[in-house]
Chains A and B, each alone.
Chain A
Amino acid sequence: MALSLEEVRRTAALSRLRLTPAEEELYAGQLGRIVAHIDHLREFETSTEEPDPPAGGEAADEPQPDPRGELFLENAPEVRGPFFAVPRMQAGGVGAADTDPVDV
């Protein structure tokens, strides 16, 4: 069983991935075989009983100063001042700046 090309394209769009026609064919076949295997789950018992999670290390839900802010910015492809810089939402707008700042 293969997934339809339409299903693969729709899933690629959700995944923010661009596939070539050859990749669409390849993934349609491969994902179809995997999904056919997953379909066997119908044969197994199910439950809705959620086990208690172990008590965890939750921190208080309070903002903490993070002295590493600048270190995070150092990894960004583009920054403007203390902000990550990104392309405009829509490409090629008249008079558009190259980038809009996004807050850290």
Chain B
Amino acid sequence: MFELLGRPAEVIAAAVRGGEVSAREMVQASLDRIAAVEPLLGAFLGVEIDEALRAATNIDARRSRGERLGRLAGVPVARKDNLSLAGRRTGCASRILDGFVSPLTATAIERLIDEDAVFVGRTNMDEFAMGSSCENSAFQTTRNPWDLRRVPGGSSGGSAAAVAAGAVPLALGSDTGGSIRQPAAFCGVVGVKPSYGRVSRYGLVAFGSSVDQIGPICRDVRSSALALEVMAGVDRRDATSAAREVPAMLENIEGGLAGVRIGTLREMPVGGLEPAMASAWAAALVRLERLGAELVEVSVPNVPAAIAVYYVIANSEASANLARFDGVRFGLRVADGGLEETYVATRTSGFGPEVKRRILLGSFALSAGYYDAYYGRARGVLLALKRQFRSAFETVDLIATPTTPGAAFAVGEKSGDPLAMYLSDIFTTPASLAGLPAVALPCGSDLLGLPLSLQLMSPPFAEASLLRAARAFERDLAWSVAPEFRGESDAD
């Protein structure tokens, strides 16, 4: 069963539908694997054993009655701790949501369950999705399964580590500035940030509302495409979800790269790449060309400004979104005299240092006297960035970059320097700001055997073409997700 757990989601679902394996056996295999690797990784904040086995048993009962099962029949799935599932804990890895049980189910999760996926637990993350290492969780630091002394990336680090460790074939993440793609890169798996508007955010705890997206993390591109297709589409409960047709993402996914024009960015800061990443990047370009793609240099002059724009826009939105955590309607309350004092005491006690830093930064950028210089300026640079991307995509079909400047860094290496941590998002923030879909996929490893990752971006709503290109690259590279759990975890 463990072997089947490592296969693509469509293979697992076909085996369950065909009766070669039961959904319960599949889910039990996932739960057993979680139990085996969790002491090393700390990827989960909660494993929902009873609920998962009950759901699997129901699927098996429906099959035995002759009912047709869904496209994800019996596939075990993990969800990031900021995605709601009715009746289960959702906590954003924060003390301020202590004890919160969600009254609703996220649309993305609902659609996966409608296809008979089984949710097995909630994964660790940087508190409120604010971070690039999972070190900002209020509860535990998740470890990278390739090297336990290193971070899994963030903020969806628990989801990426769980997938890489073979605990689940699919985990959900959310991506605001790279929070699906960067941990996928560090853990040697595939992460997809869909176009802004492609997947409903109903049921996702908001961070930066103009950039947040939900997406899949899987071991392979085909599973990512299947999960995305199931989750995508307009939803009347999210006014920002786009009324666009959802293509059959798997239909032409083996179509290859011949004739595809791929842009490389003139303004990309290649000087900041670690040597191994520079080599892997050069090799990836050679591979893309060999597969029939035509490489074209394009210019998006505002790309080097993306991190600064991102940290103004996303944190301004966060400072407003997180105002709702005040000890009145949910989670923690620290009573301290009157109402105003209770707000302040609750938030001071409930939020961790990084969340406070970002709320402060956002409040500063929006405050009287600074609004035009920071928020207004960032908004103007952002609009120019979007226009520059639209112009670039008039001459190319896709744009390629590394996903990160290098491989996973060590636990503690950047946690004392917030700016250094922020700068590690240099390649992922542009697609977030421009609302572009982007995929991170393995492109090799460094001298220590740590995964390195290629990022491909496309125009909005061109996910089918994007994933076709990613699949061609993946098939040619024949990467194996086989982490070695090296090093000793001094995990909490």
Residues in chain A within 8 A of chain B (CB atoms): 3, 7-8, 10-12, 14-18, 27, 30-31, 33-35, 37-38, 40-51, 53-59, 68, 71-72, 74-78, 84, 86-92, 102
Contact = CB atoms under 8 A, between A and B. Distances in A.
B244 A71 contact: no
B202 to A, nearest CB: 9
Nearest to B434: A51
13 contacts: A12-B360, A14-B363, A16-B347, A17-B344, A27-B356, A30-B419, A34-B422, A38-B311, A46-B381, A46-B384, A53-B197, A72-B103, A91-B341
Can you list the 7 inter-chain pairs with the closest CB atoms, starting with the nearest? A46-B380, A91-B337, A71-B103, A91-B338, A77-B333, A54-B242, A47-B384
Given A44-B301, A75-B101, A76-B330, A54 B237 contact: no
Contacts of B332: 77
Given A11-B364, A34-B422, A74 B101 contact: yes
Interface string B316-347: 00010001001111111101011111111101
Nearest to A50: B383
How large, as a class, is the contact surface on chain B?
35 or more
Contacts of A3: 364
Given A68-B104, A86-B342, 5 more contacts: A34-B422, A41-B378, A57-B235, A57-B243, A87-B337
B323 to A, nearest CB: 8
Contacts of A72: 103, 329-330
B363 A15 contact: yes
A49 B364 CA distance: 25
B344 A18 contact: yes
A31 B367 CA distance: 15
Contact of A15 (B197, B234, B360, B377): B360
A30 B381 contact: no
B433 to A, nearest CB: 12
* A71, A77, A90: residue with the most chain B Cβ atoms closer than 10 Å: A77
A34 B380 contact: no
Interface stretch (B113-121, B219-227, B302-310): B302-310
A17 B364 contact: no
B213 interface: no
B309 A41 contact: yes
B65 interface: no
A51 B197 contact: no
B194 to A, nearest CB: 12
Given A46-B377, A77-B327, A31 B348 contact: no
B319 A15 contact: yes
Nearest to B420: A33
Contact of B387 (A10, A16, A47, A86): A47
A57 B331 contact: no
* A37, A45, A48: residue with the most chain B Cβ atoms closer than 10 Å: A45
Contacts of B243: 54-57
Nearest to B383: A47
Contacts of B380: 46-48
Given A31-B357, A68-B103, A56 B242 contact: yes
Contacts of B326: 16
B100 interface: yes
Contacts of B338: 87-92
